[in-house]
Structure 1
Amino acid sequence: MIDLIVAILRTAAPMIYVAMAGVLAQRAGIWNLGLEGLMITGACAGVVLTEQTGSVAAGLAGAVVFSVILSALLWLVIEKLRANPIIAGLGLTGLGLGGTDLAVQAIYGSEGAVTAPAGIPTLGPAFGKFGLLDVLIVAMPFVVGALWVLLRRTRFGLRLSACGEHPFAARSVGANPARMRLIALLLGGVLAGLGGAELSLGGLQIFSVGMTAGRGFMAFAAVIFGAAHPVGATFAVLFFALVEYMGIKAQLVFGERAPRDFVLMLPYLATVLGIWISARLRGGVPLSSIEMRDG
């Protein structure tokens, strides 16, 4: 049982951080389809800077900084250039995937995997099997709880939700929707950068081109499945991680009788199923919630 919990937490933690970034954006009225790009950027920056400097702290800081810069770019394109948020988000994902590939080739001369000399510190043998968990995984429940408090129990969170749902009304009481969206995207950039760094510097300590493999989109799906609620999105990611774990175990138990391609496909099937169930329970998603504009 402990092995199951540890495996699910290690699989889910990177996506939970990224999903929290999606929750913030969703609350601000932006469906952030750039989460995949932010995640891969954080993963790349984390490993490359750790390899170049020998410091994990520098890698984490770099992952956060680059993700925040891309988040600011997304805000600029959406708010100032008035681009469609969906298209802008997909463009950001393309920029992240292509940019990290180009960066690795420019720095190392090839597309080969980059290995970090060290990873995020873990709890250690004193905690038994839980010692495999690193500090970002341990901090993850506190981050989710803090975000819940921020969004549901503070003036900032209420204003942010108002700007996302009713921007005209929010402006009438003194809130600036554009500024609130900027803050939400920048905070989300911090979380997405940490999620990418957790993926590459957590258990793997390696970066390879395209290593996120759609995890950013799964995190976005968790935001929808969890109704843009921090706890709901977290449980959605845990469900996806459980499905992935069960697929791996099935392959180990049944061997060739469990086709590898089908096993790899299970988390994505669970993602589609989760979105379908979520849409059915809530009667579909209104178009106005997909593209919030404040005129």
Structure 2
Amino acid sequence: MNDVIIAILRSGTPLVYVTLAGMIAQRAGVWNLGLEGIMIIGSCAIILGIMLTNSFWLAMLIAIVLCVLASVLLWFVIDRLKANPIIAGLGLTGLGIGGTALAVESIFGSQATVSAPFGAPKLGPAFGDYGVLSVFVPSMPFVVLGLWVLLRRTRFGLRLAACGEHPFAARSIGANPSRMRLIALCIGGVLCAVGGAELAAGSLQFFAQGMTSGRGFMAFAAVIFGAAHPIGSSFAALFFAVVGAIGIRAQLTFGDKVPQDLLQALPYLATILGVWLSGKLRGGAKAATGFAELKDQ
């Protein structure tokens, strides 16, 4: 049983962090489809940073800076250049996937898997079987709770929601929707860096081309499934992680009796089902008025 829980936490933790990034962007009125690209930038940066600096925390700083810069680029394109947010997000995803592959090939001369000598700090033997988990795993519930308090119980959170839902009215009280979008995307960049670092350095300690495998899009779906609520979206992300863990366990249990491709597709099928159920049962996370403002300007 502990093995299953550990597998769920390992696969679910990076997904939750990236989901929170998409959630806070949506609260500001931006559908962030660049999550996949920013996440893979964080994964690549943490491994290359560890190799070049021999320090995890310095590598973590490098990953955060690069992911925040990618988020600022997205803000600049959609807010200043008035590009369509959906197309801009997909473009950023392509830039992240292609850019990391190019970076690895430029440094090492090939696109082979790059391994780091060590990964993220672990909890240690004092936590028993769970000691193999990185420090980002137990930090995740506190980050979720902290964002819930920030977004639902503070003046900043109320202003952010106002800028996302009613940007024209928000301006009347002195709020600046453009600045709030920038802040939200930068916070999301930090969360994507943590999610990418947990994916690449939490247990694997390597970077491979395309290793995010659509997790950014799953996180985007979790935002919709969870109605852009910090806790609801996090549980949606963990639900997708549970389905993934069930698929892995089924591969070990049933072997060749069930097609491997079908079992591997379970998380993505659950993503589609979750988005459909969200639309049917509660309407999902409705497009904010701020999105219409970004399209029309």
TM-score normalised according to structure 1 size: 0.97
1:86 corresponds to which residue? 86
Which has the higher mean CA deviation after the structures are superposed, 281-290 or 58-67? 281-290
Q: Secondary structure of 2:22's match?
A: helix
Contact kept, 8 Å, 2:36 with 2:217, in 1: the verdict is yes
Q: Secondary structure of 1:117's match?
A: coil
Residues of 2 paired with 1:240 and 1:209: CA distance? 22
Q: Deviations over 1:161-189 (max 9, x none)?
A: 00000000000010000000000000110
Contact kept, 8 Å, 1:225 with 1:236, in 2: the verdict is yes
Following superposition, the deviation at residue 55 of structure 1 comes to 1.0
Name the CA shift for 1:284/1:137 in 2 (closer, same or farther; >3 Å): closer
Structure 2 gaps, min length 5: none
Name the CA shift for 1:154/1:285 in 2 (closer, same or farther; >3 Å): closer
Contact kept, 8 Å, 1:164 with 1:292, in 2: the verdict is no
Q: Deviations over 1:197-253 (max 9, x none)?
A: 110001000000100000010011100100001101110011101111111111111
Residues of 1 paired with 2:289 and 2:123: CA distance? 41
Following superposition, the deviation at residue 133 of structure 1 comes to 1.4
Amino acid at match of 2:243: V
Structure 1 ranges of 4+ moved more than 6 A = none
Residues of 2 paired with 1:192 and 1:149: CA distance? 20
Following superposition, the deviation at residue 287 of structure 1 comes to 5.6
Residues of 2 paired with 1:177 and 1:284: CA distance? 23
Residues of 2 paired with 1:102 and 1:148: CA distance? 38
Which has the higher mean CA deviation after the structures are superposed, 275-284 or 252-261? 275-284
Contact kept, 8 Å, 1:165 with 1:292, in 2: the verdict is no
Structure 1 gaps, min length 5: none
1:236 corresponds to which residue? 236
2:154 corresponds to which residue? 154
Name the CA shift for 1:284/1:38 in 2 (closer, same or farther; >3 Å): closer
Contact kept, 8 Å, 2:164 with 2:288, in 1: the verdict is no
RMSD of Structure 2 on Structure 1 (CA): 1.3
Residues of 1 paired with 2:288 and 2:238: CA distance? 29
Identity %: 62
2:138 corresponds to which residue? 138
Residues of 2 paired with 1:290 and 1:11: CA distance? 32
Amino acid at match of 2:21: A
Residues of 1 paired with 2:83 and 2:291: CA distance? 11
Contact kept, 8 Å, 1:41 with 1:100, in 2: the verdict is yes
2:209 corresponds to which residue? 209
Q: How does 1:1-295 map to 2 (within 5 A)?
A: 1-283=1-283, 291-293=291-293, 295=297
Residues of 2 paired with 1:114 and 1:287: CA distance? 39
Q: Secondary structure of 2:216's match?
A: helix
Residues of 2 paired with 1:287 and 1:35: CA distance? 17
TM-score normalised according to structure 2 size: 0.97
Q: Deviations over 1:113-166 (max 9, x none)?
A: 110111001111121111111101111110010000000000000000000000
Residues of 1 paired with 2:160 and 2:289: CA distance? 14
Residues of 2 paired with 1:290 and 1:90: CA distance? 19
Amino acid at match of 1:72: V
Amino acid at match of 2:271: T
Amino acid at match of 2:247: G
Contact kept, 8 Å, 1:240 with 1:270, in 2: the verdict is yes
Amino acid at match of 1:118: F
Q: Secondary structure of 1:203's match?
A: coil
